[in-house]
């Protein structure tokens, strides 16, 4: 294994392509942890934002005016503000109000920067997901819903068992788009010092001065990361396709 790593040191000497993330043990460690952080952050935010989307879309069809208003304002707030501003707002604004103090009187933040990133990015992507699922729900034929009602389904059961499965299939292409964007947006967490891939890369290139090389490494890594997400989403889309339904 060492010979493999050392080959990159030789590559640097021979060509000037300085991939310290392979032959420098410290850089290798931090790049790997940054990659894992990006994967973790993306996975958590994808799951949470889809849950927010499903729940939000259901609440949007609520009979209560107040519930519909709350969902409406939630979407307006998170969709109409830049995600970077939201991160700053949560971390520096809300974070400073939520702190407590330990026995020695030191300030202890209630929520860490990683958690704030997960919360903020999930809400941000979730707002879009609500709208994406709404478009799917509205595309389900009214007659299907009426049939479910006449068979005695409650609103929740009809939503979960009939409307959502159909709406989900219609929404998938738009959902893919939003999730791809979400993975790319995780780089913004760099601003509140979440040690994800862009953050560790910037640390590495400030120390090793291999800026162009690291830029390319980042580009390729994100391409592969987002590419694999898209690949699995497409396979899933094909697997759950209902023949004759939709396009």
User: Any contact of residue 135 with another protein (CB under 8 A)?
Assistant: no
Provide, rounded to whole angstroms, the least separation between the CB of residue 101 and another protein.
8
| Residue-wise DSSP of 47-113 | HHHHHHHHHHHHHHT-S-HHHHHHHHHHHHHHHSS-HHHHHHIIIIIIHHHH-EE-TTS-EE-SS-H
Task: Kindly state whether residue 193 participates in binding another protein, applying the rule CB under 8 A.
Answer: yes
Q: How far is the CB of 182 from another protein (least distance, A)?
A: 22
Q: Which of 10, 207, 220, 241 binds another protein (CB under 8 A)?
A: 207
Figure out which of the listed residues 82, 99, 173, 246 binds another protein, where binding follows CB under 8 A: 99
Out of 206, 224, 228, 241, name the contact with another protein by CB under 8 A.
Answer: 206
Helices 164-185 & 25-60 angle (0-180, nearest 10): 150
Task: Assess contact for 162 and 2: CB atoms under 8 A.
Answer: no
Residue from the set 203, 221, 226, 237 that interacts with another protein by CB under 8 A: 203
Site for another protein, residues 60 to 89, rule: CB under 8 A: none
Asked whether position 107 contacts another protein by CB under 8 A, the answer is yes
42 interacts with another protein by CB under 8 A:
no
- Looking at the Cβ atoms of 138 and 207, the one nearer to another protein is 207
Give yes or no for residue 26 binding another protein (CB under 8 A): yes
| Residue (26 or 245) nearer to another protein, CB | 26
Distance CA 4, CA 22 (A): 9
**Across the strands, what pairs with 108?**
100
Distance CA 114, CA 91 (A): 10
Quick one: which of 53, 56, 95, 136 contacts another protein (CB under 8 A)? Answer: 95
Distance CA 168, CA 54 (A): 9
Rounded Cα distance, 68 and 63, in Å? 8
Query: Which residue, among 223, 234, 229, has the nearest Cα to 197 in the 3D structure?
Result: 223
From the list 62, 115, 177, 202, which residue makes contact with another protein (rule: CB under 8 A)?
202
Q: For the window 158-187, what string marks contact with another protein as x by the rule CB under 8 A?
A: ------------------------------
Task: Choose one: 35-43, 123-131, 172-180, 200-208; the region binding another protein (CB under 8 A).
Answer: 200-208
Nearest to 95 by CA among 85, 108, 83, 82: 108
How big is the CA angle at 96 (ends 36 and 116), to the nearest 5 degrees? 25
Binding site for another protein (CB under 8 A): 26, 91-92, 95-96, 99, 104-109, 112-113, 191-193, 199, 202-203, 206-207
């Amino acid at each position: 294994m060492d010979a493999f790593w050392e080959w990159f040191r030789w590559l640097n000497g021979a060509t000037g392509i300085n991939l310290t993330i392979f032959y420098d043990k410290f850089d290798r460690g931090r790049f790997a942890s940054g990659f894992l952080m990006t994967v973790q952050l993306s996975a958590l935010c994808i799951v949470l934002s889809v849950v927010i989307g499903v729940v939000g879309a259901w609440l949007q069809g609520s009979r209560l005016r107040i519930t519909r208003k709350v969902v409406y304002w939630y979407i307006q707030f998170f969709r109409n503000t830049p995600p970077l501003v939201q991160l700053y707002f949560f971390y520096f604004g809300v974070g400073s109000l939520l702190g407590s103090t330990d026995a020695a009187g030191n300030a202890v933040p209630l929520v860490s920067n990683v958690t704030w990133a997960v919360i903020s990015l999930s809400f941000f992507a979730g707002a879009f997901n609500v709208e994406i699922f709404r478009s799917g729900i509205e595309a389900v034929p009214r007659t299907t819903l009426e049939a479910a009602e006449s068979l005695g389904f409650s609103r929740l059961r009809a939503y979960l068992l009939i409307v959502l499965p159909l709406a989900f299939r219609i929404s998938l292409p738009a959902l893919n788009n939003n999730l791809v964007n979400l993975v790319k947006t995780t780089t913004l967490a760099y601003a509140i010092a979440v040690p994800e891939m862009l953050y560790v890369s910037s640390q590495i290139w400030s120390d090793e001065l291999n800026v162009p090389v690291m830029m390319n490494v980042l580009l390729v890594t994100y391409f592969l990361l987002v590419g694999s997400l898209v690949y699995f989403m497409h396979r899933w889309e094909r697997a759950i396709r209902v023949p004759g339904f939709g396009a």
